[in-house]
Amino acid sequence: MANRKQAAAERVGRSFSADRRRGAYERIKQAIVVGEFKPGDSLVESALAEWCEVSRTPIREALTRLEQDGIVVRTDRGLVVRDDSPEDVLDLYETRIVLEASAARVASERRSFHDLLQMHELADRMKTMETGDLEAMAAANDSFHRAIWRASHNRSLVDLLDRLSLHLGRYPATTLSFPGRWGRANEQHTALVEAIESRNGDLAASLATEHFTESRDIRLKLWTRGTPS
């Protein structure tokens, strides 16, 4: 009995430790995404440990993961939040365009009836949204595209897109605020769902490429105007 209790206590302890590590990672990552920690900011273990109310060990592990994600970089000042240049953003978009086209093509082959229901529901919901809430618009847009990723039923593809989205998520609603972009995006989403539903992989891939190429071009226009975020 004592051995079983000890084993149970050890399992609880390991689970609690894992939760703390995940919690530190998610909290720091979210702070970077929303701009609480800005590009170039130093990330000091002791300060982050106090902020997250954990020891330095889970902070160190969280920073290692964030460095692997590519949103934290090591400099002579230690670890800092990555500061993307226009060229970096262009590279991210070029990669995302290829992966989003692949996801749309594969989704055309593998989507289920439930996947289609989700995509239709999300696309229809976006058409009725108020355009004044950029944060809600960005969240809805993200949900729609993640539904297409899931419809591909390709875990590796989803993981790669999720990592790219983490980088671009630091500029959450910029392209959607561009004049005419919201309406245009909704039209493209509808066409994309219809292509996936009809299992037209070539068309779905072409539409996804067009959609994200336009998004990339708008992002770069906004950057040159001095409004990258």
Q: CA nearest 191: which of 205, 177, 179, 174?
A: 205
Name residue 62's amino acid. Answer: A
Residue 113 lies in a domain: yes
pLDDT of amino acid 12: 38
- Look at residues 45, 66, 81 and tell me which one is the last residue of a structural domain: 81
pLDDT of amino acid 174: 64
pLDDT digits (tens, 9 = 90+) for 174-217: 688 899 999 999 999 999 999 999 999 999 999 999 999 999 99
Give the 3-state secondary structure of residue 164.
Answer: helix
Q: How confident is the model at residue 157 (pLDDT cuts 50, 70, 90)?
A: very high
- Look at residues 66, 81, 96 and tell me which one is the last residue of a structural domain: 81
pTM, rounded to two decimals: 0.76
Percent of the chain with pLDDT over 90: 62
pLDDT of amino acid 19: 54
| Cα–Cα distance measured from residue 190 to residue 167, given in angstroms and rounded to the nearest whole number | 26
Domain limits for position 174: 86-224
Percent of the chain with pLDDT over 70: 87
Give the 3-state secondary structure of residue 46.
Answer: helix
Residue 205 lies in a domain: yes
The tokens describing 64, both together, are 């290692």
Q: Please count the structural domains in the chain.
A: 2
First to last CA, the chain: 58
Residue 229 lies in a domain: no
pLDDT digits (tens, 9 = 90+) for 90-132: 899 999 999 999 999 999 999 999 999 999 999 999 999 988 8
Name 191's bridge partners: none
If asked whether residues 106 and 215 sit together in one domain, one would say yes
| Cα–Cα distance measured from residue 79 to residue 166, given in angstroms and rounded to the nearest whole number | 18
Residue 115: which residues within 8 A CB-CB, separation 6 or more?
Answer: 107, 147, 150, 151
| Cα–Cα distance measured from residue 134 to residue 131, given in angstroms and rounded to the nearest whole number | 7
The tokens describing 167, both together, are 């980088």
pLDDT of amino acid 228: 45
- Look at residues 56, 81, 106 and tell me which one is the last residue of a structural domain: 81
